Chains A and B, each alone.
Chain A
């Protein structure tokens, strides 16, 4: 059975203080690892898809990387507007079209 574990559960950063969020996964036949951002009272919003170890994707202050066991979401010089919950999800070769989500990391960036 797929397992997706995100850490830490919550993270508080000062504006400009770079850090990384972790997503560890156990899945047979990874067909993609996904990062979403969720703001309070809203649905998740797609950020990145990574398909193979060594792949990297960037968007503004965010950079996602992937190894065979985990993915990192690096946040460089965060701003208060980066405050949100960041969700990781995996898809395997047996899950059809289903994404298996982790419980997320709640990020708070203070001025």
Chain B
């Protein structure tokens, strides 16, 4: 398996623009997580899904952030409108069942100017 695949690897955008980050989890995994990593706050859980259903979105910072999982092999995290403070590395991770071994993608480095 190719692992968790995220795109794009890097995204540079201007404040106010819409940003969409994409994730393909490992086939067969039924949990999908979106994390954000910054120097100041470390790794923070934004939202996670089980069998394509959002379970906990309490980490989503505000209404500008939204996440969807239309099927078992694809998820998006959207920021609209983007702000400079959204600049961070966004990771997607997946796992099988209640196995707490998370498999992370390589992340998307987002820079909002």
Residues of A within 8 A of B (CB): 32, 34, 41-46, 49, 87, 89, 91, 96-104
Contacts and interface: CB of A to CB of B under 8 A. Distances in A.
A97 B104 contact: no
Interface of B: 4, 31, 42-45, 48, 50, 55-56, 59, 91, 93, 98, 100-107
Contacts of B43: 44, 87, 89, 101
B56 A97 contact: yes
A21 B30 CA distance: 33
Nearest to B56: A96
Contacts of B106: 41-43
Nearest to B41: A103
B42 A97 contact: no
A49 B101 contact: yes
A97 B101 contact: no
Q: Which 7 pairs across A and B sit closest by C-beta, in order of nearness?
A: A43-B104, A101-B43, A103-B42, A46-B101, A98-B45, A43-B91, A44-B104
Given A97-B31, A98-B48, A43 B100 contact: no
B104 A32 contact: no
Nearest to A89: B43
A56 to B, nearest CB: 18
B55 A45 contact: no
Contacts of B105: 43
Contact of A102 (B42, B59, B102): B42
